[in-house]
A and B are shown apart, each in its own frame.
Chain A
Amino acid sequence: MTTATKWHIGFALLLLATALVVGSLAAFAFLLPDGIALIPFRQLRPIHVSAALFWIISGATAGLVHFKRVEFGETRGSMLYTGFLVLWIGTILAVFGFYAVNQYGGREYWEFPPLLAVPLLFAWLLLMADYFRAWLKRTPDPPLYVWMWSTGLLFFLITFIEQNLYQIPWFRDNYLREITVQWKSNGSMVGAWNQMIYGTALYLMVKLSGDEGIARGRKVFIFWFLGLSNLMFNWGHHIYNVPTAGWIRHVAYGISMAEWIFLINIIQGFRAKMTEQRIHRNIITYRFLLASEFWVFLNLILALLMSIPAINRYTHGTHITVAHAMGTTIGINTMILLASIGTMLGMDALPDKERRWIKIGRRITTVSLLVFWFALIAAGLLKGYRSVALGMTDFQAMMQPVNNVLYVFAYAGLGVLLGLGIVVWAYFNRLLQPSS
Protein backbone atom coordinates (compact mmCIF):
# COMPACT_ATOMS: atom_id res chain seq x y z
CA MET A 1 0.00 0.00 0.00
CA THR A 2 1.36 3.46 -0.90
CA THR A 3 1.74 6.27 1.64
CA ALA A 4 -0.90 8.25 -0.26
CA THR A 5 -3.41 5.39 0.14
CA LYS A 6 -2.63 5.24 3.87
CA TRP A 7 -3.45 8.95 4.17
CA HIS A 8 -6.58 8.37 2.13
CA ILE A 9 -7.77 5.56 4.42
CA GLY A 10 -6.80 7.44 7.58
CA PHE A 11 -8.74 10.51 6.46
CA ALA A 12 -11.79 8.41 5.53
CA LEU A 13 -11.78 6.70 8.95
CA LEU A 14 -11.45 10.07 10.67
CA LEU A 15 -14.54 11.25 8.77
CA LEU A 16 -16.44 8.14 9.90
CA ALA A 17 -15.44 8.78 13.52
CA THR A 18 -16.56 12.43 13.18
CA ALA A 19 -19.90 11.41 11.66
CA LEU A 20 -20.50 8.97 14.53
CA VAL A 21 -19.62 11.34 17.38
CA VAL A 22 -21.37 14.39 15.91
CA GLY A 23 -24.37 12.28 14.85
CA SER A 24 -24.87 11.14 18.45
CA LEU A 25 -24.52 14.70 19.74
CA ALA A 26 -27.00 15.89 17.08
CA ALA A 27 -29.56 13.25 18.07
CA PHE A 28 -29.56 14.49 21.68
CA ALA A 29 -29.43 18.15 20.61
CA PHE A 30 -32.56 17.42 18.55
CA LEU A 31 -34.39 16.01 21.57
CA LEU A 32 -32.97 18.38 24.18
CA PRO A 33 -32.20 21.64 22.37
CA ASP A 34 -31.42 23.41 25.65
CA GLY A 35 -29.31 20.57 27.02
CA ILE A 36 -26.34 20.79 24.65
CA ALA A 37 -26.15 24.53 24.19
CA LEU A 38 -22.47 24.44 23.34
CA ILE A 39 -23.13 23.46 19.73
CA PRO A 40 -26.70 23.92 18.45
CA PHE A 41 -28.47 21.33 16.28
CA ARG A 42 -28.45 23.73 13.30
CA GLN A 43 -24.64 23.53 13.34
CA LEU A 44 -24.28 19.85 14.29
CA ARG A 45 -26.51 18.54 11.51
CA PRO A 46 -24.44 19.81 8.54
CA ILE A 47 -21.21 18.65 10.25
CA HIS A 48 -22.70 15.18 10.72
CA VAL A 49 -24.18 14.99 7.22
CA SER A 50 -21.03 16.21 5.45
CA ALA A 51 -18.79 13.92 7.52
CA ALA A 52 -21.00 10.92 6.67
CA LEU A 53 -21.24 11.85 3.00
CA PHE A 54 -17.50 12.46 2.62
CA TRP A 55 -16.72 9.26 4.59
CA ILE A 56 -18.69 7.24 2.05
CA ILE A 57 -17.16 8.95 -0.99
CA SER A 58 -13.63 8.95 0.46
CA GLY A 59 -13.93 5.31 1.58
CA ALA A 60 -15.31 4.30 -1.82
CA THR A 61 -12.52 6.05 -3.72
CA ALA A 62 -9.82 4.63 -1.40
CA GLY A 63 -10.96 1.08 -2.22
CA LEU A 64 -11.41 1.81 -5.88
CA VAL A 65 -7.94 3.34 -6.29
CA HIS A 66 -6.21 0.57 -4.32
CA PHE A 67 -7.93 -2.39 -5.99
CA LYS A 68 -7.73 -0.93 -9.51
CA ARG A 69 -3.95 -0.72 -8.96
CA VAL A 70 -3.92 -4.44 -8.23
CA GLU A 71 -6.39 -5.19 -11.03
CA PHE A 72 -4.63 -3.07 -13.67
CA GLY A 73 -1.14 -4.18 -12.55
CA GLU A 74 0.11 -0.71 -11.62
CA THR A 75 3.31 -0.63 -9.60
CA ARG A 76 4.14 3.07 -9.31
CA GLY A 77 2.39 5.87 -7.47
CA SER A 78 0.69 8.62 -9.43
CA MET A 79 0.98 12.41 -9.21
CA LEU A 80 -2.63 12.70 -10.38
CA TYR A 81 -3.79 10.66 -7.41
CA THR A 82 -1.61 12.63 -4.99
CA GLY A 83 -3.03 15.85 -6.47
CA PHE A 84 -6.57 14.55 -5.98
CA LEU A 85 -5.86 13.66 -2.38
CA VAL A 86 -4.32 17.02 -1.45
CA LEU A 87 -7.17 18.98 -3.06
CA TRP A 88 -9.87 16.64 -1.71
CA ILE A 89 -8.65 16.59 1.91
CA GLY A 90 -7.84 20.32 1.90
CA THR A 91 -11.29 21.28 0.62
CA ILE A 92 -13.13 19.01 3.04
CA LEU A 93 -11.18 20.51 5.94
CA ALA A 94 -12.19 23.95 4.64
CA VAL A 95 -15.85 22.78 4.58
CA PHE A 96 -15.67 21.99 8.31
CA GLY A 97 -13.87 25.28 8.92
CA PHE A 98 -16.83 27.15 7.40
CA TYR A 99 -19.30 25.15 9.47
CA ALA A 100 -17.32 25.97 12.60
CA VAL A 101 -17.94 29.69 12.01
CA ASN A 102 -21.60 29.15 11.00
CA GLN A 103 -21.06 29.87 7.31
CA TYR A 104 -23.35 27.94 4.98
CA GLY A 105 -24.89 28.89 1.63
CA GLY A 106 -25.43 25.47 0.03
CA ARG A 107 -28.40 23.12 0.04
CA GLU A 108 -29.41 19.80 1.63
CA TYR A 109 -26.37 17.47 2.04
CA TRP A 110 -24.04 20.13 0.56
CA GLU A 111 -24.61 22.96 3.03
CA PHE A 112 -21.16 24.57 2.68
CA PRO A 113 -20.56 27.75 0.61
CA PRO A 114 -21.02 26.70 -3.04
CA LEU A 115 -17.62 28.06 -4.14
CA LEU A 116 -16.01 25.06 -2.42
CA ALA A 117 -17.63 22.85 -5.06
CA VAL A 118 -15.00 24.13 -7.54
CA PRO A 119 -11.92 22.53 -5.88
CA LEU A 120 -13.95 19.38 -5.19
CA LEU A 121 -14.77 19.19 -8.89
CA PHE A 122 -11.11 19.64 -9.87
CA ALA A 123 -10.09 16.97 -7.37
CA TRP A 124 -12.60 14.56 -8.92
CA LEU A 125 -11.29 15.30 -12.43
CA LEU A 126 -7.77 14.41 -11.25
CA LEU A 127 -9.03 11.14 -9.78
CA MET A 128 -10.84 10.32 -13.02
CA ALA A 129 -7.75 11.15 -15.08
CA ASP A 130 -5.70 8.80 -12.88
CA TYR A 131 -8.26 6.00 -13.20
CA PHE A 132 -9.10 6.26 -16.91
CA ARG A 133 -5.43 6.62 -17.91
CA ALA A 134 -4.86 3.15 -16.46
CA TRP A 135 -8.22 1.88 -17.74
CA LEU A 136 -7.36 2.74 -21.36
CA LYS A 137 -4.27 0.51 -21.24
CA ARG A 138 -6.30 -2.41 -19.94
CA THR A 139 -7.27 -5.45 -22.01
CA PRO A 140 -10.82 -5.50 -23.45
CA ASP A 141 -13.76 -7.43 -21.96
CA PRO A 142 -13.40 -6.21 -18.38
CA PRO A 143 -15.23 -7.94 -15.52
CA LEU A 144 -18.35 -6.31 -14.12
CA TYR A 145 -16.64 -4.61 -11.20
CA VAL A 146 -14.47 -2.58 -13.60
CA TRP A 147 -17.64 -1.46 -15.43
CA MET A 148 -19.14 -0.50 -12.07
CA TRP A 149 -16.10 1.50 -10.93
CA SER A 150 -15.92 3.35 -14.27
CA THR A 151 -19.67 4.07 -14.33
CA GLY A 152 -19.64 5.23 -10.70
CA LEU A 153 -16.78 7.66 -11.30
CA LEU A 154 -18.42 9.10 -14.43
CA PHE A 155 -21.89 9.44 -12.90
CA PHE A 156 -20.56 11.05 -9.76
CA LEU A 157 -19.03 13.74 -12.00
CA ILE A 158 -22.30 14.21 -13.92
CA THR A 159 -24.48 14.37 -10.82
CA PHE A 160 -22.06 16.61 -8.94
CA ILE A 161 -22.17 19.12 -11.79
CA GLU A 162 -25.96 18.76 -11.98
CA GLN A 163 -26.17 19.38 -8.21
CA ASN A 164 -24.55 22.77 -8.79
CA LEU A 165 -26.58 23.84 -11.83
CA TYR A 166 -28.76 25.96 -9.54
CA GLN A 167 -26.08 28.62 -9.76
CA ILE A 168 -27.46 29.30 -13.25
CA PRO A 169 -30.55 31.55 -12.89
CA TRP A 170 -32.55 29.55 -15.50
CA PHE A 171 -32.62 26.60 -13.09
CA ARG A 172 -33.21 28.67 -9.98
CA ASP A 173 -35.89 31.02 -11.22
CA ASN A 174 -38.47 28.23 -11.45
CA TYR A 175 -38.99 26.53 -8.08
CA LEU A 176 -40.42 23.31 -9.53
CA ARG A 177 -37.41 23.00 -11.84
CA GLU A 178 -35.04 23.88 -8.99
CA ILE A 179 -36.38 21.22 -6.62
CA THR A 180 -36.69 18.62 -9.40
CA VAL A 181 -33.09 19.01 -10.60
CA GLN A 182 -31.81 19.13 -7.00
CA TRP A 183 -33.37 15.79 -6.11
CA LYS A 184 -32.69 14.26 -9.51
CA SER A 185 -28.97 14.84 -8.94
CA ASN A 186 -29.05 13.84 -5.25
CA GLY A 187 -30.93 10.62 -6.05
CA SER A 188 -28.67 9.61 -8.92
CA MET A 189 -25.53 10.54 -7.00
CA VAL A 190 -26.37 7.92 -4.39
CA GLY A 191 -26.58 5.44 -7.28
CA ALA A 192 -23.18 6.66 -8.49
CA TRP A 193 -21.36 6.02 -5.22
CA ASN A 194 -23.21 2.73 -4.88
CA GLN A 195 -21.70 1.70 -8.24
CA MET A 196 -18.22 2.30 -6.85
CA ILE A 197 -18.95 0.59 -3.51
CA TYR A 198 -20.84 -2.40 -4.92
CA GLY A 199 -18.10 -2.75 -7.55
CA THR A 200 -15.59 -3.14 -4.73
CA ALA A 201 -17.89 -5.59 -2.92
CA LEU A 202 -18.07 -7.70 -6.09
CA TYR A 203 -14.29 -7.51 -6.50
CA LEU A 204 -13.81 -8.74 -2.92
CA MET A 205 -16.27 -11.61 -3.43
CA VAL A 206 -14.40 -12.69 -6.56
CA LYS A 207 -11.09 -12.67 -4.70
CA LEU A 208 -12.54 -14.49 -1.68
CA SER A 209 -14.16 -17.24 -3.70
CA GLY A 210 -11.56 -17.38 -6.47
CA ASP A 211 -14.46 -17.60 -8.92
CA GLU A 212 -14.15 -15.01 -11.74
CA GLY A 213 -17.53 -16.19 -13.04
CA ILE A 214 -19.30 -14.12 -10.36
CA ALA A 215 -18.33 -10.97 -12.25
CA ARG A 216 -19.01 -12.25 -15.76
CA GLY A 217 -21.88 -13.77 -17.68
CA ARG A 218 -25.21 -12.61 -19.02
CA LYS A 219 -27.23 -12.81 -15.77
CA VAL A 220 -24.95 -10.57 -13.69
CA PHE A 221 -24.86 -7.97 -16.46
CA ILE A 222 -28.67 -8.02 -16.85
CA PHE A 223 -29.00 -7.35 -13.12
CA TRP A 224 -26.42 -4.61 -13.34
CA PHE A 225 -28.25 -2.87 -16.20
CA LEU A 226 -31.42 -3.06 -14.14
CA GLY A 227 -29.58 -1.36 -11.27
CA LEU A 228 -28.14 1.23 -13.64
CA SER A 229 -31.65 2.03 -14.94
CA ASN A 230 -32.65 2.65 -11.35
CA LEU A 231 -29.73 5.06 -10.90
CA MET A 232 -30.83 6.97 -14.00
CA PHE A 233 -34.61 7.05 -13.71
CA ASN A 234 -35.94 6.21 -10.24
CA TRP A 235 -34.91 9.41 -8.41
CA GLY A 236 -38.49 10.72 -8.84
CA HIS A 237 -39.63 9.00 -5.64
CA HIS A 238 -37.96 11.83 -3.69
CA ILE A 239 -40.42 14.32 -5.14
CA TYR A 240 -43.65 12.35 -5.63
CA ASN A 241 -45.60 15.07 -3.78
CA VAL A 242 -44.15 17.96 -5.81
CA PRO A 243 -46.59 19.04 -8.54
CA THR A 244 -44.21 18.33 -11.42
CA ALA A 245 -45.26 16.76 -14.71
CA GLY A 246 -47.01 13.46 -13.92
CA TRP A 247 -44.68 11.36 -16.10
CA ILE A 248 -41.75 12.02 -13.74
CA ARG A 249 -43.75 10.24 -11.03
CA HIS A 250 -44.95 7.42 -13.27
CA VAL A 251 -41.47 6.67 -14.69
CA ALA A 252 -39.95 6.56 -11.17
CA TYR A 253 -42.77 4.36 -9.89
CA GLY A 254 -42.47 1.95 -12.82
CA ILE A 255 -38.68 1.68 -12.66
CA SER A 256 -38.70 1.27 -8.85
CA MET A 257 -41.02 -1.69 -9.11
CA ALA A 258 -38.37 -3.55 -11.12
CA GLU A 259 -36.52 -3.78 -7.78
CA TRP A 260 -38.86 -6.60 -6.79
CA ILE A 261 -36.70 -8.72 -9.10
CA PHE A 262 -33.66 -7.93 -6.91
CA LEU A 263 -35.61 -8.94 -3.82
CA ILE A 264 -36.68 -12.26 -5.34
CA ASN A 265 -33.08 -12.86 -6.43
CA ILE A 266 -31.79 -12.24 -2.90
CA ILE A 267 -34.34 -14.65 -1.42
CA GLN A 268 -33.42 -17.29 -4.03
CA GLY A 269 -29.73 -16.87 -3.16
CA PHE A 270 -30.21 -17.46 0.57
CA ARG A 271 -29.35 -21.17 0.44
CA ALA A 272 -26.08 -20.55 -1.42
CA LYS A 273 -25.26 -17.86 1.15
CA MET A 274 -25.73 -20.34 3.99
CA THR A 275 -23.13 -22.69 2.44
CA GLU A 276 -20.78 -19.77 1.75
CA GLN A 277 -21.18 -18.61 5.33
CA ARG A 278 -19.91 -21.94 6.66
CA ILE A 279 -16.80 -21.76 4.47
CA HIS A 280 -15.84 -18.13 5.18
CA ARG A 281 -17.11 -17.91 8.76
CA ASN A 282 -13.91 -16.50 10.22
CA ILE A 283 -12.97 -14.00 7.54
CA ILE A 284 -13.50 -10.35 8.61
CA THR A 285 -14.07 -9.16 5.04
CA TYR A 286 -16.72 -11.77 4.45
CA ARG A 287 -18.56 -11.07 7.70
CA PHE A 288 -18.85 -7.36 6.85
CA LEU A 289 -20.03 -8.21 3.32
CA LEU A 290 -22.61 -10.61 4.74
CA ALA A 291 -23.81 -7.94 7.18
CA SER A 292 -24.25 -5.54 4.26
CA GLU A 293 -26.38 -8.11 2.41
CA PHE A 294 -28.66 -8.44 5.42
CA TRP A 295 -29.16 -4.66 5.33
CA VAL A 296 -29.68 -4.69 1.56
CA PHE A 297 -32.55 -7.10 2.16
CA LEU A 298 -34.20 -4.97 4.89
CA ASN A 299 -33.72 -1.67 3.10
CA LEU A 300 -34.90 -3.02 -0.22
CA ILE A 301 -38.24 -3.98 1.35
CA LEU A 302 -38.50 -0.50 2.86
CA ALA A 303 -37.50 1.20 -0.41
CA LEU A 304 -40.00 -0.82 -2.41
CA LEU A 305 -42.83 0.18 -0.10
CA MET A 306 -41.76 3.84 -0.07
CA SER A 307 -41.64 3.83 -3.87
CA ILE A 308 -45.39 3.24 -4.09
CA PRO A 309 -46.81 6.78 -4.15
CA ALA A 310 -49.96 5.83 -2.21
CA ILE A 311 -47.72 4.60 0.65
CA ASN A 312 -45.16 7.36 0.14
CA ARG A 313 -47.97 9.81 0.95
CA TYR A 314 -47.69 8.67 4.59
CA THR A 315 -43.92 8.11 4.77
CA HIS A 316 -42.56 11.15 2.89
CA GLY A 317 -41.04 13.79 5.16
CA THR A 318 -41.13 11.41 8.14
CA HIS A 319 -38.38 9.56 9.98
CA ILE A 320 -38.96 6.55 7.72
CA THR A 321 -36.94 8.47 5.13
CA VAL A 322 -34.19 8.84 7.77
CA ALA A 323 -34.42 5.09 8.53
CA HIS A 324 -33.87 4.37 4.85
CA ALA A 325 -30.98 6.84 4.59
CA MET A 326 -29.26 5.57 7.77
CA GLY A 327 -29.99 1.92 6.98
CA THR A 328 -28.32 2.22 3.60
CA THR A 329 -25.40 4.45 4.58
CA ILE A 330 -24.51 2.58 7.78
CA GLY A 331 -25.90 -0.90 7.14
CA ILE A 332 -24.87 -1.27 3.51
CA ASN A 333 -22.26 1.32 2.50
CA THR A 334 -20.29 1.42 5.76
CA MET A 335 -20.25 -2.37 6.11
CA ILE A 336 -18.88 -2.81 2.58
CA LEU A 337 -16.35 -0.03 3.10
CA LEU A 338 -15.17 -1.64 6.34
CA ALA A 339 -14.79 -4.93 4.45
CA SER A 340 -12.82 -3.13 1.76
CA ILE A 341 -10.56 -1.20 4.16
CA GLY A 342 -10.14 -4.34 6.33
CA THR A 343 -8.83 -6.20 3.27
CA MET A 344 -6.48 -3.35 2.35
CA LEU A 345 -5.09 -3.27 5.89
CA GLY A 346 -4.73 -7.06 6.01
CA MET A 347 -6.88 -7.38 9.14
CA ASP A 348 -7.35 -11.10 8.60
CA ALA A 349 -3.63 -11.64 9.14
CA LEU A 350 -3.88 -10.35 12.72
CA PRO A 351 -3.86 -12.69 15.73
CA ASP A 352 -7.26 -13.96 16.91
CA LYS A 353 -7.12 -11.83 20.05
CA GLU A 354 -7.06 -8.58 18.02
CA ARG A 355 -9.62 -9.79 15.48
CA ARG A 356 -12.02 -10.64 18.31
CA TRP A 357 -12.50 -6.91 19.00
CA ILE A 358 -13.66 -6.35 15.46
CA LYS A 359 -16.14 -9.19 15.82
CA ILE A 360 -17.47 -7.65 19.05
CA GLY A 361 -17.70 -4.21 17.41
CA ARG A 362 -19.57 -5.62 14.41
CA ARG A 363 -22.06 -7.45 16.63
CA ILE A 364 -22.74 -4.39 18.81
CA THR A 365 -23.27 -2.35 15.62
CA THR A 366 -25.70 -4.84 14.08
CA VAL A 367 -27.88 -5.12 17.19
CA SER A 368 -27.83 -1.35 17.89
CA LEU A 369 -28.51 -0.50 14.26
CA LEU A 370 -31.53 -2.80 14.23
CA VAL A 371 -33.03 -1.03 17.26
CA PHE A 372 -32.06 2.38 15.77
CA TRP A 373 -33.67 1.49 12.40
CA PHE A 374 -36.92 0.14 13.84
CA ALA A 375 -37.22 3.12 16.21
CA LEU A 376 -36.96 5.49 13.24
CA ILE A 377 -39.60 3.50 11.37
CA ALA A 378 -41.90 3.59 14.41
CA ALA A 379 -41.35 7.36 14.75
CA GLY A 380 -42.05 7.81 11.04
CA LEU A 381 -45.24 5.75 11.17
CA LEU A 382 -46.43 7.80 14.10
CA LYS A 383 -45.66 11.10 12.39
CA GLY A 384 -47.26 9.93 9.12
CA TYR A 385 -50.40 8.80 10.94
CA ARG A 386 -50.77 11.98 12.98
CA SER A 387 -49.96 14.43 10.16
CA VAL A 388 -51.65 12.72 7.19
CA ALA A 389 -54.36 10.43 8.58
CA LEU A 390 -55.35 12.66 11.53
CA GLY A 391 -54.46 15.87 9.69
CA MET A 392 -52.85 17.47 12.77
CA THR A 393 -51.42 20.89 11.98
CA ASP A 394 -49.98 21.93 15.35
CA PHE A 395 -46.41 20.76 14.84
CA GLN A 396 -45.32 20.58 18.49
CA ALA A 397 -48.45 18.66 19.52
CA MET A 398 -48.08 16.33 16.55
CA MET A 399 -44.43 15.62 17.37
CA GLN A 400 -44.75 15.03 21.12
CA PRO A 401 -45.23 11.21 21.05
CA VAL A 402 -42.84 10.97 18.07
CA ASN A 403 -40.06 12.54 20.14
CA ASN A 404 -40.60 9.94 22.88
CA VAL A 405 -39.89 7.18 20.36
CA LEU A 406 -36.85 9.10 19.15
CA TYR A 407 -35.20 8.68 22.57
CA VAL A 408 -34.90 4.95 21.73
CA PHE A 409 -33.26 5.95 18.43
CA ALA A 410 -30.83 8.31 20.19
CA TYR A 411 -29.74 5.71 22.77
CA ALA A 412 -29.41 3.01 20.09
CA GLY A 413 -27.24 5.51 18.21
CA LEU A 414 -24.81 5.41 21.14
CA GLY A 415 -24.59 1.64 20.57
CA VAL A 416 -23.76 2.23 16.89
CA LEU A 417 -21.14 4.76 18.00
CA LEU A 418 -19.61 2.21 20.40
CA GLY A 419 -19.71 -0.71 17.93
CA LEU A 420 -18.30 1.13 14.95
CA GLY A 421 -15.96 3.05 17.24
CA ILE A 422 -14.30 -0.24 18.28
CA VAL A 423 -13.82 -1.21 14.62
CA VAL A 424 -12.46 2.22 13.65
CA TRP A 425 -10.06 2.09 16.62
CA ALA A 426 -8.78 -1.36 15.57
CA TYR A 427 -8.35 -0.18 11.97
CA PHE A 428 -6.46 2.93 13.07
CA ASN A 429 -4.14 0.84 15.22
CA ARG A 430 -3.40 -1.37 12.26
CA LEU A 431 -2.94 1.60 9.92
CA LEU A 432 -0.35 3.10 12.24
CA GLN A 433 1.69 -0.13 12.41
CA PRO A 434 4.69 0.04 10.06
CA SER A 435 3.87 -3.43 8.64
CA SER A 436 0.43 -2.37 7.35
Chain B
Amino acid sequence: MRTVWIILFVAFAGYTALVYTNGDAGRMEPATAQVRAGMDTWQQQNCASCHQLYGLGGYMGPDLTNEYQRAGEERMRAFMRYGSGRMPALELNDAEIDDLIAFLAWVDRTGSSQVSPENVHWSGTYFIKPTTP
Protein backbone atom coordinates (compact mmCIF):
# COMPACT_ATOMS: atom_id res chain seq x y z
CA MET B 1 0.00 0.00 0.00
CA ARG B 2 2.78 2.37 0.94
CA THR B 3 4.44 1.92 -2.48
CA VAL B 4 1.26 2.76 -4.39
CA TRP B 5 0.74 5.81 -2.17
CA ILE B 6 4.29 7.03 -2.82
CA ILE B 7 3.96 6.49 -6.60
CA LEU B 8 0.72 8.49 -6.62
CA PHE B 9 2.26 11.25 -4.52
CA VAL B 10 5.28 11.53 -6.84
CA ALA B 11 2.91 11.67 -9.85
CA PHE B 12 0.95 14.43 -8.10
CA ALA B 13 4.13 16.41 -7.40
CA GLY B 14 5.30 16.02 -11.01
CA TYR B 15 1.89 17.01 -12.38
CA THR B 16 1.81 20.05 -10.08
CA ALA B 17 5.19 21.22 -11.39
CA LEU B 18 3.96 20.76 -14.97
CA VAL B 19 0.77 22.74 -14.27
CA TYR B 20 2.74 25.59 -12.70
CA THR B 21 5.23 25.88 -15.53
CA ASN B 22 3.25 24.88 -18.66
CA GLY B 23 -0.43 25.09 -17.69
CA ASP B 24 -0.91 28.41 -19.52
CA ALA B 25 0.28 26.90 -22.86
CA GLY B 26 2.50 29.96 -23.31
CA ARG B 27 -0.48 32.37 -23.41
CA MET B 28 0.79 35.00 -21.06
CA GLU B 29 0.60 38.75 -20.78
CA PRO B 30 2.49 39.82 -17.64
CA ALA B 31 0.59 41.99 -15.20
CA THR B 32 1.59 45.65 -14.94
CA ALA B 33 1.71 47.50 -11.63
CA GLN B 34 -1.72 48.97 -12.39
CA VAL B 35 -3.20 45.53 -13.13
CA ARG B 36 -1.82 44.25 -9.83
CA ALA B 37 -3.35 47.21 -8.01
CA GLY B 38 -6.66 46.50 -9.77
CA MET B 39 -6.50 42.86 -8.67
CA ASP B 40 -5.95 44.04 -5.08
CA THR B 41 -8.99 46.32 -5.32
CA TRP B 42 -11.06 43.44 -6.76
CA GLN B 43 -10.16 41.35 -3.72
CA GLN B 44 -10.47 44.11 -1.13
CA GLN B 45 -13.93 45.06 -2.39
CA ASN B 46 -14.86 41.36 -2.48
CA CYS B 47 -16.25 41.76 -6.01
CA ALA B 48 -16.28 37.95 -6.39
CA SER B 49 -19.17 37.81 -3.91
CA CYS B 50 -21.50 38.94 -6.69
CA HIS B 51 -19.52 38.66 -9.94
CA GLN B 52 -17.78 35.85 -11.75
CA LEU B 53 -14.62 35.64 -13.81
CA TYR B 54 -14.62 32.63 -16.12
CA GLY B 55 -17.85 31.48 -14.44
CA LEU B 56 -16.21 31.34 -10.99
CA GLY B 57 -17.55 33.55 -8.21
CA GLY B 58 -20.94 34.91 -7.18
CA TYR B 59 -24.31 34.88 -8.92
CA MET B 60 -25.87 38.22 -8.19
CA GLY B 61 -24.30 40.19 -11.05
CA PRO B 62 -23.01 39.31 -14.51
CA ASP B 63 -19.79 37.46 -15.35
CA LEU B 64 -17.21 40.19 -15.94
CA THR B 65 -14.57 38.20 -17.89
CA ASN B 66 -15.37 39.93 -21.17
CA GLU B 67 -17.30 42.93 -19.85
CA TYR B 68 -14.52 45.29 -20.93
CA GLN B 69 -15.10 44.28 -24.54
CA ARG B 70 -18.90 44.04 -24.22
CA ALA B 71 -19.83 47.11 -22.19
CA GLY B 72 -16.84 49.35 -22.78
CA GLU B 73 -14.75 51.38 -20.42
CA GLU B 74 -17.08 54.31 -19.82
CA ARG B 75 -20.09 52.17 -18.93
CA MET B 76 -17.98 50.14 -16.52
CA ARG B 77 -16.65 53.32 -14.98
CA ALA B 78 -20.22 54.59 -14.40
CA PHE B 79 -21.27 51.32 -12.74
CA MET B 80 -18.26 51.35 -10.44
CA ARG B 81 -18.80 54.98 -9.48
CA TYR B 82 -22.56 55.11 -9.01
CA GLY B 83 -23.68 51.49 -8.71
CA SER B 84 -27.01 50.35 -10.14
CA GLY B 85 -30.25 48.70 -8.92
CA ARG B 86 -28.54 45.73 -7.27
CA MET B 87 -24.97 46.97 -7.21
CA PRO B 88 -23.92 49.29 -4.40
CA ALA B 89 -21.86 52.41 -5.09
CA LEU B 90 -18.49 51.26 -3.84
CA GLU B 91 -17.09 54.70 -3.03
CA LEU B 92 -13.94 54.07 -5.04
CA ASN B 93 -11.62 56.94 -5.94
CA ASP B 94 -10.56 57.64 -9.55
CA ALA B 95 -7.27 55.77 -9.24
CA GLU B 96 -8.99 52.65 -7.87
CA ILE B 97 -11.54 52.72 -10.70
CA ASP B 98 -8.72 53.05 -13.27
CA ASP B 99 -6.89 50.12 -11.65
CA LEU B 100 -10.01 47.94 -11.65
CA ILE B 101 -10.64 48.70 -15.31
CA ALA B 102 -7.01 47.88 -16.17
CA PHE B 103 -7.39 44.56 -14.32
CA LEU B 104 -10.64 43.66 -16.11
CA ALA B 105 -9.17 44.65 -19.49
CA TRP B 106 -6.22 42.34 -18.75
CA VAL B 107 -8.56 39.47 -17.83
CA ASP B 108 -10.59 40.11 -20.99
CA ARG B 109 -7.49 39.65 -23.16
CA THR B 110 -6.84 36.15 -21.76
CA GLY B 111 -9.84 34.61 -23.57
CA SER B 112 -13.59 34.15 -23.60
CA SER B 113 -15.58 32.88 -20.61
CA GLN B 114 -17.99 31.00 -22.88
CA VAL B 115 -16.73 28.14 -25.00
CA SER B 116 -18.04 28.39 -28.55
CA PRO B 117 -19.75 25.29 -30.02
CA GLU B 118 -17.00 24.75 -32.62
CA ASN B 119 -14.51 24.12 -29.80
CA VAL B 120 -16.51 21.12 -28.49
CA HIS B 121 -15.02 17.84 -29.66
CA TRP B 122 -17.16 14.76 -30.44
CA SER B 123 -15.58 12.98 -27.44
CA GLY B 124 -17.17 15.57 -25.15
CA THR B 125 -14.01 17.53 -24.36
CA TYR B 126 -12.98 21.01 -25.60
CA PHE B 127 -10.16 22.11 -27.82
CA ILE B 128 -10.04 25.83 -27.08
CA LYS B 129 -8.22 27.82 -29.72
CA PRO B 130 -6.41 30.90 -28.44
CA THR B 131 -8.34 34.12 -28.99
CA THR B 132 -5.37 36.41 -28.47
CA PRO B 133 -2.27 36.58 -30.66
Using a CB–CB cutoff of 8 Å, the interface residues on chain A facing chain B are 30, 33, 40-42, 45-46, 104-108, 111, 147, 151, 162, 169, 171-177, 179-181, 183-184, 221, 225, 228-229, 232-233, 238-246, 248-251, 253, 308-311, 313, 316-317, 319, 322, 387-388, 393, 395-396
Contacts and interface: CB of A to CB of B under 8 A. Distances in A.
A308 B25 contact: no
B46 A104 contact: yes
A205 B12 CA distance: 30
A385 B101 CA distance: 30
Contact of B120 (A46, A242, A310): A310
A161 to B, nearest CB: 11
B27 A176 contact: yes
Q: Would you call the interface of chain A mostly helix, strand, loop, or mixed?
A: helix
B128 A45 contact: no
Interface residues of B, number: 61
Interface in B55-102: 55-63, 70, 85-86, 88
B98 to A, nearest CB: 18
B102 to A, nearest CB: 12
14 contacts: A41-B49, A41-B50, A41-B60, A105-B43, A108-B56, A111-B48, A172-B36, A173-B31, A177-B23, A179-B54, A180-B23, A241-B113, A241-B114, A243-B131
B45 A229 contact: no
A175 B54 CA distance: 11
B49 A45 contact: yes
Contact of A180 (B19, B39, B124, B128): B19
Nearest to B106: A175
Contacts of B127: 246
Contacts of B111: 242-243
Given A179-B54, A181-B23, 7 more contacts: A42-B88, A162-B16, A172-B36, A181-B20, A246-B25, A393-B70, A395-B61
B50 to A, nearest CB: 6
Nearest to B22: A245
Contacts, number: 163
Given A232-B8, A232-B12, A241-B114, A181 B19 contact: yes
Interface of B: 1, 4-5, 8, 11-12, 15-16, 19-20, 22-25, 27-31, 36, 39-40, 43-46, 48-50, 52-63, 70, 85-86, 88, 106-107, 110-115, 120, 124-128, 130-131
A174 B49 contact: no
A217 B24 CA distance: 41
A168 to B, nearest CB: 11
A232 B15 contact: yes
A396 B44 CA distance: 25
Contacts of B59: 30, 319, 322
Contacts of B57: 108
Contact of B124 (A221, A225, A310): A310
Contacts of A151: 5
B128 A174 contact: no
Given A104-B46, A317-B113, A388-B114, A176 B28 contact: yes
A174 to B, nearest CB: 5
A177 B17 CA distance: 12
